Structure 1
């Protein structure tokens, strides 16, 4: 089943969802920041978002942690204010980064 990920900067703040539900930050397994998600630059908040997307997609925190730096720099740091991607998009990106 293909998952749908989306992010938006709203009047109420940052919203990141997977299939319409809030994306877990996964700070219990790896904490880059407690300040929530962000994107469009390189830093701890985009790192947390990259990690959370990868953990949700891969189901493997250790593998997600290893892939996070490249995924954050090449993808999350380049997101626009609103973004969407699917699990198939993530698979394509990871194949390209390998």
Structure 2
């Protein structure tokens, strides 16, 4: 199934969804930041977002943790104010990072 991940900075704050539903931060398995998600720079909040996307996409917290730093630096840190990624986009990004 091709999921759609979407992030936006709104008047009410940061909103990140997967297929229209709020994306789980998965902070219970790995907590990089208690401040929620962020993007467009390298740091703890973008790390949490990268990890959450990868856990949701891969279904494997250990693999997500292993790949989160490169994914955060190569993808999440380069997001614009509003962004969208599909499962296929994530697969391509991970393939390029191998």
User: TM-score category by the smaller chain?
Assistant: over 0.9
Residue equivalent to 1:65: 65
Per-residue deviation, 1:57:
0.0
Distance (whole Å) between structure 1 residues aligned to residue 43 and residue 37 of structure 2? 10
Offset at 1:97?
Answer: 0.3
Which residue matches 2:86? 86
Runs of 4 or more, structure 1, over 2 Å off, are: none
Provide the aligned C-alpha RMSD in A. 0.3
In 2, distance between residues paired with 1:37 and 1:64? 16
Matched, 1:46 2:46: yes
With structure 1 as the length reference, what TM-score do the two structures score?
0.99
Name the count of aligned residue pairs: 98
**Which structure 2 residue ranges, 5 or more long, are not aligned?**
none
TM-score by length of 2: 0.99
Gaps of 5+ in 1: none
- Deviation of 1:19 after TM superposition, in Å, equals 0.1
1:24 Cα deviation after fit: 0.1
**What residue is the counterpart of 1:33 in the other structure?**
33
